[in-house]
Amino acid sequence: MGRWRPPIEKGSKYITPEGAQKLTEEVQYLWKVERPQVTDRVSKAAAQGDRSENAEYIYGKKRLREIDSRIRFLTNRLDGMTVVNRIPEDQDKAYFGAFVTLEDEDGEEVEYRIVGPDEFNVVDGNLSMDSPLGKAMIGKRVADEIKFFSPKGVKVFYISKICYNDLK
């Protein structure tokens, strides 16, 4: 008897030009730099003889599978992406690519950029449009209230600024 898991919800198919560039550079690095190095090490390890007890050969082959898997994933993901490189007509609302400054009830401010799921990094201020807070921000205007359900309870934010000037 197997363990059933619900299918994973696919992320949005939008990405910023910077995010697309980073993913493309990662594919190029894996394909042109890392894979040839690992292939060379595996071939040298294979030449030493018994492969069943050769840790360098075994782990090299494992790393090659990981690299190929990542390249396949990134290539398929990039093929279906829509690069958003234009500013929306209604710049008073928060949409994909917007820099949104939020203010909490204590008056502390934090700025996030709404990005796609492949490029989010909260530490850098990039928030996925598929995250609960990202979904709550989309379509809101300055001075709108956002209720966000976090593990610590309900948090209330107010949008204090929306900016699109960094999009190209």
Q: Name the amino acid, one letter, at 161.
A: K
In this prediction, residues 7-16 reach a mean pLDDT of: 82
CB burial readout 88-114, b (16+ within 10 A) else e? eeeeebbbbbbbbbbbeeeeeeeebbb
Secondary structure (3-state) at 129: coil
**Full DSSP string of 41-104:** HHHHHHTTS-STT-HHHHHHHHHHHHHHHHHHHHHHHHHT-EE--S--S-TTB--TT-EEEEEE
Q: What pLDDT sits at residue 142?
A: 92
Q: What is the pLDDT of residues 16-35, one digit of tens each?
A: 999 999 999 999 999 999 99
pLDDT given at position 8: 73
pLDDT of res. 1: 54
For the chain, the maximum distance between any two Cα atoms, rounded to a whole number of angstroms, is 70
Separation of alpha carbons 23 and 25, rounded Å = 5
CA–CA dist 55, 49 (Å, integer): 12
Give the model's confidence band at 168: pLDDT under 50 very low, under 70 low, under 90 confident, else very high.
very low
Give 134's contacts (C-beta < 8 A, 6+ positions apart).
Answer: 112, 114, 127, 128
Structural domains for the chain: 14-83 (1.10.287.180), 99-163 (3.10.50.30)
User: pLDDT grade, residue 149 (50/70/90)?
Assistant: confident
pLDDT band at 166 (very low <50, low <70, confident <90, very high): low
